[in-house]
Chains A and B, each alone.
Chain A
């Protein structure tokens, strides 16, 4: 059993030697006085008593002088006392010095801050999420979580980042622990096993570290939701094996967005609306069909290759500086690759820049990306320019470069993670519609624009005792259709502006469920609606009078109730 508060024990442990030194200096001083022979007022020899010696050393050690007691000292005694003065003073100086340096000791301060962190975490009553590491991405996630009334807790091993988080002064306070992020001890301190701790977010660039954190987290609490970044297919598989719920690969996401922009622009529009990036009437031109020159064959370029290589609308051509990255490609595949620097004019011409419809600068160097696109535009002024921006500086060097499209892995991670944590049904819906085609997406966008508006709200509801008590009560004796939530409480014969997008059951997932579908307990339903409709839906689900009116069209009164009884 480990003592909970370690600070006190650290003080004791560190102060052992100083205490020993002080005890020994006193012992030596007192013993010397006992041994040395003195002379009393009658000239007779005597030995000082223990108490007299203790008394004398007590005020001598504290550098207070009360004179020689009980009799005037002989020179032998005075010699010894001179030695004792320095001995005991040095002992005390050492003891006090050790105590002062201890209070400034980092280990001690670290323990103090850990105790404070634990207290802060214990005081959180609402749902909260543990974020590992603090940077631009996690700070944006924190802001969105706090906006959604979800608390955040951070573990960060770099002291400067911890200080910058504290200076941010989030409201409500975000507890932060300066410690190793992958240590079970620090995750326990952050309360990973508590009921109201809902998720762990680990977005480091090191896939192995993310996987390790995932494994430790699932071992400590197998019900915890994991939100992890992974950039290699093998890492994604490993994370799936440990049941990580949210795996974000920004490069696969960008490649998929590129594919949607070419084949199904309305699908991309839906996704951006779901992630609250854009409205449904945002301008979304279709990317052209033809040759695409892709510069860079790292994790980004490889994702694009895997995603688009079999699509007939796109003729991919790659430029990569590092020949080793092309290992594993067949001879036939290599015909679409050049090993060279992509910002070279002749290389671009060799890649067919004059006939290409688009050039994609996706290396991990922002400056190189800009240089590539500037050169390409000189050679072909009508070419479409797509770029990746890695750094999230306040002033973007891309803003003056006039890109047609700018892809930001950081922003994608922020949007994916926050949406999955705050709106899990919307995230599920976004994944379900990936296989739909352009016609389907266009139809849904039109429906949403006509029935609601250009920025419909997303409302997630679970049919349980907490969120829909009236529905639960009614389901005990009869069947109920989804259409109950369509009713306008202003006039039962009219419908609110609402479209059901997803109905999630333990054994089924239904995209765009029909209003006539019967609902069951524990169904999770995602609606797109306006604020008025959301209000009505909540009333119908929770208020007995409103529910009765929606069901029957009649007012439910207490008087009528009593009359029937």
Chain B
């Protein structure tokens, strides 16, 4: 058993699943999207990104790229939420932007997991 693989695989897949957990729900209302879940999604995605650093193979570079995309979208969603909550009012438009950004992050995470699984299937051990 390769512990490094277990840890990195754990965080990569966890990042996707938490991302989905936050994204799932009404597209125009934040009532069904927990802010704590977004917080957790950002943290887990940052950890997953960090675990991909330093792998200079072609596959490692692509995985890192997808992870950075997810990070940017989730952090942007959090920033918009914070700004709207403390400086403006949250309406349906703001809510849909936040949820859409997390949807984009989810797609990036799905791509990342697909690449990861593909590489795993290809490997011989």
Contact = CB atoms under 8 A, between A and B. Distances in A.
Contacts of A9: 54-56
Interface string B36-47: 100100010011
Contact of B61 (A3, A15, A20): A3
A565 interface: no
B85 A51 contact: yes
15 contacts: A2-B56, A3-B61, A9-B56, A13-B55, A15-B53, A16-B51, A19-B53, A20-B51, A23-B50, A26-B43, A49-B35, A50-B35, A50-B39, A51-B85, A51-B86
A371 interface: no
B58 interface: yes
Interface in B34-83: 35-36, 39, 43, 46-47, 50-51, 53-58, 61, 82
A341 B31 CA distance: 101
Given A3-B61, A51-B85, A20 B54 contact: no
Contacts of B53: 12-13, 15-16, 19
Given A50-B36, A51-B85, A27 B43 contact: yes
B50 to A, nearest CB: 4
Interface of B: 35-36, 39, 43, 46-47, 50-51, 53-58, 61, 82, 85-86
A6 B61 CA distance: 13
A27 B44 CA distance: 10
A16 B86 contact: no
B54 A14 contact: yes
Nearest to A3: B56
A81 B40 CA distance: 20
A148 interface: no
Given A14-B54, A15-B54, 6 more contacts: A2-B57, A9-B56, A12-B53, A13-B55, A16-B50, A19-B53
A249 B51 CA distance: 55
Nearest to B50: A19
Interface residues of A, number: 22
Contacts, number: 45
A51 to B, nearest CB: 5
A1 interface: yes
Interface of A: 1-3, 6, 9-10, 12-16, 19-20, 23-24, 26-27, 30, 34, 49-51
**10 closest cross-chain pairs (CB), A and B:** A13-B54, A12-B53, A12-B54, A9-B56, A19-B50, A3-B56, A51-B82, A27-B43, A50-B39, A23-B46
A105 to B, nearest CB: 14
A71 to B, nearest CB: 16
B92 to A, nearest CB: 21
B78 to A, nearest CB: 8
Given A2-B56, A13-B53, A30-B39, A20 B85 contact: no
